Structures are given as structure tokens and as C-alpha cells.
Amino acid sequence: MSGDAVLVLALLGLSLVLFITERLALEVVALGVVLALMLGGLLSPPEALAGFSDPVVVTLAALFVVGGGVQHTGLGALLGERLERLAGPSEPRLVAATMLAGAALSAFMSSTGTVAILLPAVVGVARRVGVSPSRLLLPLACGSLLGGMLTLVGTAPNLVASNQLVARGEPPFAFLAFTPVGAAVLVVGVAYMVLVGRHLLPAGAQAAATSAAHGEADDASRHLGGRLARLRVPAASPLGGKTVAAAAPRSRTGVTVLAVEAPGGGAAALAGPTTTLAAGDVLVVHGDPAAVARLVADLGLTPAPPSPEAVDPAAQGEDLGTVEALLAPRSSLLGRTLAEVRFRERFGVTALAILRQGAPIDADLARAPLAFGDALLLHGAWSRLALLGDGQRDLVVLGPLAPRRRPARRLWTAAAVVAGMLALMATGAVPTVAAALLAAVAMVLGRCVTLEDAYRSVSWGSLILIAGMLPMATALERVGLVQRAVDGFVGAVGPLGPTAALAGLFLLTSVLSQVMSNTATAVLVAPVAYDVAQGLGASPRAFLLAVAIAASTAFATPVASPVNALVLGPGGYRFRDFLRAGVPLQALALVVTLAVLRLLPP
């Protein structure tokens, strides 16, 4: 083995370890690979940077913008709102409807975006019909992953597999090339989850306790009970003339000022850091009763009697409301405190509680590091809370947002843009990348999404990951490692025939996708799959299609995909729940894929 081959192999091994352990951000690892390939003389700068201009990367960027338009116009939420009407109170029908809704959306947009859109609707439906959310949320994640198998643009591995064909001088996959296999796997997956899988999911005390902490705003009163008070600012109080920030009641005693009622009563105004307090004002505060008593003693406040117009953060009013929001996977808030990120100033809402494992924590909210699975009970103006549900990558809102009127014209504009894009892709009238770019531009020109929101809709980390890892395939082939892998694989399973080789590659890809990005897995395995197929005299298209399908079978661990991480906390799941329900689904996907591929033309 040459020195260059050893270097590339070491670089590949190191990147795999870093992908699995996530000691560094995935995009940082990918950029490190690009730099190492350049500085090590393994690839020229244009070759190492070729991934950033690859049609796969450009197509995905455009599709993120299209997905942003679908979300911002309410087109995606509209589908979620129909779940209860279509399925009724039946748990089996709800499971099937949830999976099919997730699949329908994720066939054309990011599976992570799909789950973020549908998760609040599914939790709300579960509560209204009396079904444990744990019976629906993992099926939602699985349905969204299965939906990515339906079309060429459903998920990045499909585009990677198609790009491998183009790189070898062959025509790319057609838009619906994945549909026969993907649809068969989806049907079997839905049937499995309805008949067997849902019974493997928790629905007892643990799930009920956890999901109760992530429910609708009706539960806010339970978390806030006994922690609200109304305090009057007397003329002698040192608070007169100070702003809320200058008074610093939260840092002093842990008590939060939610609203201020001016002298003479009337509606309360939401309090912010710059709100100036005056003698006679009535403060609506939230905090532990002992902390409120200390605040009264320190600042000379006096208890105010209840008022029919007093603010109740547990109630959903026309202007103010309370929601719960889950920390998103790889949120920038993880491991940091609310004080560190200046949460109130940054988001314009107040965190009333940090919910951990179904219950509010007792620690000082401002100084408690946020952990994976935490949810925040947030109070503020609906206009600010609504922004948390639109293109915001740190939080996923679980509670219901106040209904917002969206221009029907823009919703239908978004629907028309998506339909036009799909028609262009299905007919092959223009290249896939051109159709995606046209749709993205149309979303912006049609005012379905602003230019600023379009930039926010793009998962730049995912694009950098793909662009950075694509040149690795070039380096592996150049130093002969792909050929070595092919020879070894063919020697081991070749005598057993192409079907055994196809099954082996499917298993390898499926296992890797449980611990690392499915896109990175597809980038690494696709070249090997193509060459193995050629070595066995089989169809490379069938092998690449199987690898793409296998890369999307990330069902068995909560870290296998961001969609699994999103449902982990709200569903009250443990690691073993994913294993019990996910491994059989992976096995079924393998069997169905092999069976359908044998029926398709070579």
C-alpha cells in the first residue's frame, strides 16, 4: 500500500471517528478533510473544492429554500391540521395518518423540517383524543425518513447516488426512479408500525409523565401554580424610576417580572428589560413564594389584591400567551445558560421554567446550563412567540401558537411553485438542479419567503458536510483504496451471488447510518457499491439505489438522525425504545428492497 493510500485511509478513519463521537461539529470535520486533501498533496485545490459547486449541493440548497416557503406560508402546517379530521380518535388510524403525512412532506423537503412542522400538531392531536404522544412521535420520525425514499429529491443520499452515476458517465436517476422501492418500503413500514411497532413503544407512566411536560398550554397552569403574585410599587420603593433591567429582580432573587399594570388598573403591558417602573405600578411576577417574599422585603413592595384584569400566563389571550419549546438538535443553546445567551433580549420572550424529565428544575433558571431534552416554558407576546416557530434553529415550539392569518394567495402560490417544480423534475424537461433553483427563486419572488428567511432556511452545516466529503470519494479512488475494497468485498461475497452482495452492502450502509450522517455514509459507500456491481456483472443502478435506501433507514438509535433527536424528549423515549421498534423496521426495509429490485428491470 502506497504512502498516499495510508494517508487517505488514516484521514478516512479519523473522520469516521469524529463523525461518530461528534467531538467536533460535522461541518468542521468536513472542512478539515478538504484542507488535509489539499495540504497533503492528495488533490489539487480545484479538485478538493469541487464539492462546493457540485449539482447535489446546489440542488439541496435550493430545496431548503423551497421547504422554507412551504413552512412560512403555512402549507406544511395545513397538512398537519388535517390529521385529526382524517384519522379521528383511533390510535391505529392516527399512527398511519401521522406516518403518511410525514412521508408526503419529506418526499419533497427536509425530513428534519417535516418533523419540526408536524410535531406540535401531532402532540396536540394526541392530547385531544387521549392517545399517548409516545405512540405517535416515533412513527412520525420513521414516516418522515421513509418519505425521503420516495423521490430523487427526498433526501441527500438519493442525490449522492444519482451523482455517482453521472460521475461514471451514465444518465442520472429519474425523479421517480426511487418510487417503486420507496413506496413498497413505506407501505410495509406503516403496516408494521400499526400492527406491531406501536405496541413496542412506551405508553405507561414514564411516557405519560414526560409527554405531559411537553403538552399544550393547558399544562402551563400546573407548572405555574402557586408561583404567580401581584406586587404594588409604593412611593417609598427604590424601584421608582428604574428599568426592570436596572432593578434586576431575577438576578437578585430569581423572581421574573412578567407584566406591569399602570396605576388605576386596566390591561397589563408585557414587561421588558427597558420597561420603566413608577410608584403605584402593580407588577405581575413569577417565582418561588419564598423568593417573592425576599423581593418584597428587599425592595419595600406590598402585595396587591387580585384583579379581574390580572395577567395569567397560563391563559392564552389575544395578545399574550405561553408555549413550550424543545431545544433543537445541535442548538446553540445547549450547554449554555439563559444569562449567557441573554435569552430575553435575544428572543423577546420570558422563560418561566426549564422542564427536565417532565418537571421544572429547582435551580436558578438564569444560571442553569441547558441540557439535551430540556424544554422551556416561554411567555410573551404572540407576535414574538410566533417567530420561534418560523425558521428558528435553536427551538422547536411544542405548544400551540396563536392562529395567524396568512394570505391565502401566498399559500396557494407556494403550492403552485411546489407543483411546478415536481412537474419539471418528473418530466425531465430541465435538469433537476435547474428545477430546484427555479422553484427557490419563485418562492422569493412570490413573497412566500423573504430573502432573509430564505437564507435562514438553508442548513449550511449540511451543505458544507456534503461538499467537504465528496472529494474524499475522488481521493479514495485515486490512491486505489476503492479498488481494494471492491476486490475484498467481491472475494468475500462474490461466490454467493449479486443478491448476497447487495444485502451485504445494504447492511453495511444501514449500520453506518445509525452512528453517522446518512449523507456521509452514502458518499463513502456509493463508489464501492458501483464498482462491486460492475465486478459481479450486476446493475450498478440497482446497487446504488439500494445504498441510498439503506442510508435512510436510520431508525434504531436516537442519534442516527436529527428527526429522532427531535422526538426523543417529547415522546419520553429511551435508547432501547428506538432499538426495539427500529431494528425490525430496518430488517423489513432490507427484505422489501431486495424483493422489489428483483422485480424491476435490470
Residues 6+ away with beta carbon under 8 Å from 501 = 489, 490, 493, 494, 532, 533, 536, 538, 543
Residue 77's pLDDT is 63
* Residues 421-430 pLDDT 10s: 878 877 778 8
Instruction: Residue 566: name the closest of 329, 211, 358, 330 by CA.
Output: 329
Where do the structural domains in the chain lie, given as residue ranges? 226-303, 320-397
In this predicted structure, the answer to whether residue 212 has a pLDDT above a threshold of 50 is: no
Band (185; pLDDT cuts 50, 70, 90): very high
Q: Please report, as a single letter, which amino acid is at residue 443.
A: M
d(CA 409, CA 75): 11
CATH number of 226-303: 3.30.70.1450
Are 226-303 and 320-397 equal in CATH topology? yes
CA distances from 241 to 24, 254, 268, 274, 321 (A): 48, 21, 18, 11, 28
The whole-angstrom distance between residue 319's C-alpha and the CA centroid of its chain comes to 28
Kindly report the pTM of this predicted structure. 0.66
What are the backbone angles phi and psi of residue 433, rounded to the nearest 5°? -65, -35
* Residues 297-356 pLDDT 10s: 888 888 887 654 444 444 444 466 777 787 776 677 888 888 888 887 788 788 877 877
Q: Which helix (H) or strand (E) holds 228?
A: strand 228-232
Second CATH level (architecture) for the domain 320-397: 2-Layer Sandwich (3.30)
In this predicted structure, the answer to whether residue 498 has a pLDDT above a threshold of 80 is: yes
In this predicted structure, the answer to whether residue 440 has a pLDDT above a threshold of 70 is: yes
Considering only 170-174, 303-307, 589-593, which range has the smallest mean pLDDT? 303-307
Sign of CA dihedral 175, 181, 183, 189: negative
d(CA 343, CA 349): 8
β-sheet bridge partners, residue 91:
none
d(CA 334, CA 316): 28
